[in-house]
Amino acid sequence: MRERPRIQDDSGESPALGVLDPVDQLPLRVGLAAFDSEAAAPRVPADRAVDFGQRGPAVDARLTGAEKVQIRSVEDENGACLSGHNVPGYTTAFGAATKPARAAGRSEIGRAHARLLGQILLEAGQTTLETLERALGRIRGSGERLGEALVAMGAVASEDVLRALAAQANLPFLTRDELPTSIPILKNLSPQYLRQYRVCPVSIDGNTLTVATADPTNLLLLDDLRLSLAMQIKVAVAAPEGILEAIERTYTGAATPLQRIVEGMEDSGAPGEGDEDVSHLRDMAFEAPVVRLVNLIIENALGAEASDIHLEPFEDALRVRYRIDGVLYDQEAPPRRLQAAVTSRIKIMAEMNIAERRLPQDGRIRVVLHSRRVDIRVSTVPTVYGESIVMRLLDRSTIFLPLERLGFPPETQARLERLITLPHGILLVTGPTGSGKTTTLYAALDKINAPDKKIITVEDPVEYQLKGVNQIPVKAKIGLTFATGLRHIVRQDPDVIMIGEIRDLETAEIAIQASLTGHLVFSTLHTNDAPGAIPRLQDMGCEPYLVSSVLEGVLAQRLVRRICASCRAPYEAEPSDLVALGLPPGEWRQALFHGRGCAECRGTGYRGRLGIYELFPISEDVRSLILRKASSGELRRYATENGMVTLREDGWAKARAGLTTVAEVLRVTQEES
């Protein structure tokens, strides 16, 4: 004998064991679902686990073979739903005793049904008496149903069995064409659930929902629908193929996931905008559809490999844009009436003050989505139409790459590796915001990181945590700036210092001082090209003799979009683009590539990015040029004449290699000319 199953009542608490007898006489209907585990779906056919109607809830839980049986509903003869505890005669002693008499009764009912089905099929001329006898012989003792047996024997088409089942139960049968093109969407019904049970809503009339099912004998399913939707359920029969088609048409068709969430929100009485008080904002922010909507916006951004999400309010619309590979793309946006809810949700996630809507705020979100840890820096600024939000997705996998994978030309890489292993001096990486400077510095630190070196950084913010490196985040509010941080870390006896950015003379002077006292300093500057770093430092007020004695090299860089590998194709570049790149005419004949656009790259022709670089090592000649206060033009001329590969030259080499396009190289280097 099997171990007695545990039976759990509706409250989800106090699992009880016992015998069902006390309620045997009551005209009750019990809906039962058997679960192998909490998450699993009911897997026991209604006619095996439950006696519906007539004689009371004689439940042979042992028949279910399930670990746990959950009482889903108990109702009286009028169909009124009673909770487990106020059913007359109900004790917590729902039980597992089998009554042989009842078991016999059930099988009699089953046989009567089978005969009826057979009769219908016979009358419709769809089977013969002989076939029917064989099928009945086959199902004897097997637990198979007559209809299943006939289909398995190839004697009757499954649709004909379904029609007969419908006729037997006096239910309408719907053909494929009679099912709706788009099924009604109910917010408590997921497409997964509908697919699993091959059931779909057909129409709604007041509080009555008509559903099509391929198994009208599955009363558990119908009970489950009635309870979870709190609606009356009318049943029609349809073939499972047609039902699945209708589900797919609806859920993978015109409506996007965002539209489906938003539709659900209309039904639930959507929050408007205006002067909601804070507790109302908070309530809205915790509503399930709002949570799902914001998660979806973040998930989609991750899926598109976006670096930023921009949520901007305008007079009549909310705009959502993703920055993907450095370029902004418009995205599907929720309607403006959800602005207050969405904004509040994001602010709560970022631990901001939701009552404050007139001042800019900064925050940070740490979430786990699909087992991926995501750090998001959030900033809000008030605009005339409400708060504009930018979310920066800090993805560890894109911010950190080893030096070898950054796409340096071999010679540049060898030079750079020499520079980052010097005992002291300053190495600068230059370029506009978003040109990958931080990624390069992290890769450099990682390359030289070893137990015999002490490395300290001051960063704004710390975007990636390097093992064994002391990283200090800038906190301007409390006076911890690049300059103050740097002043203090020099006393911490580091070998290598990385300072996020040199923005002012104070920071520049401390960096120079640090390198003069035997430290190697890495930092960044905003200049267009590598030689331009020298006049920039002098403009800040740095003494040329100091700059010339400590500066060891300047690396300028940009990120270009990589051609999508799935749709790369040769094409003819615009001659004007080639001229703009300053190419010698002989090179124009070479095959160039672009991406035609495909699903992989969302039609953009690009996927991912790579760096283009220009490294300017500071030779003795350059030091004397610095002392002479040479102009940036002079410095640049000297650099190119002495073999410096420029950003455009490196970009052109990567375009010829089919990695990026000429247009991309021009786009990211145009400010130079």
**Residues in touch with Zn ion (CB under 5 A):** 564, 566-567, 595, 598, 600-601
- What DSSP state is assigned to residue 176? G
What's the Rg (C-alpha) of the chain? 36
Among all residues, whose Cβ is closest to Zn ion?
Answer: 564
In DSSP terms, 173 is beta-bridged to 237
Q: Phi/psi at 634 (nearest 5 deg)?
A: -65, -45
Distance, CA of 670 to chain centre? 35
- What DSSP state is assigned to residue 232? E
Beta carbon of residue 657, minimum distance to Zn ion (angstroms, whole number): 18
In DSSP terms, 208 is beta-bridged to 205, 232
CB count within 10 Å of CB 469 equals 20
CA distance 363 to 272: 25
Q: Phi/psi at 410 (nearest 5 deg)?
A: -50, -40
Nearest to 527 by CA among 511, 516, 539: 539
421-441 as b/e: b if 16+ CB within 10 A: eeebbbbbbbbeeebbbbbbb
Question: Is the peptide bond preceding residue 257 cis, with omega within 30 degrees of 0?
Answer: no
Beta carbon of residue 604, minimum distance to Zn ion (angstroms, whole number): 7
Q: Phi/psi at 62 (nearest 5 deg)?
A: -65, -30
In this structure, the strands spanning 372-383 and 386-394 are antiparallel
The answer to whether the CB of 578 falls within 8 A of the CB of 623 is no
CA distance 150 to 166: 16
- Both tokens of 538, joined, read 């002098």
Tokens 């003379």: give the residue: 505
- Both tokens of 73, joined, read 């509903």
- What amino acid occupies position 506? E
Give the burial class of 133: count Cβ atoms within 10 A of its Cβ; 0-12 exposed, 13-18 middle, 19 or more buried.
exposed
- Both tokens of 153, joined, read 């024997």
State whether residue 9 is helix, strand or coil. coil
What element of type H or E holds 448? helix 437-448
Torsion of CA 265, 282, 280, 322, to 10 degrees: -50
Torsion of CA 290, 292, 298, 299, to 10 degrees: -170
Angle at the Cα of 70 from the Cα atoms of 67 and 73, rounded to 5 degrees: 160
CB count within 10 Å of CB 627 equals 13
In this structure, the strands spanning 68-75 and 6-8 are parallel
The answer to whether the CB of 184 falls within 8 A of the CB of 201 is yes
What's the full length of the chain, in residues? 673
Tokens 């030079």: give the residue: 415
State whether residue 652 is helix, strand or coil. helix
In DSSP terms, 33 is beta-bridged to 70
Name the residue nearer to Zn ion (CB basis): 564 or 622.
564
CA distance 668 to 601: 20
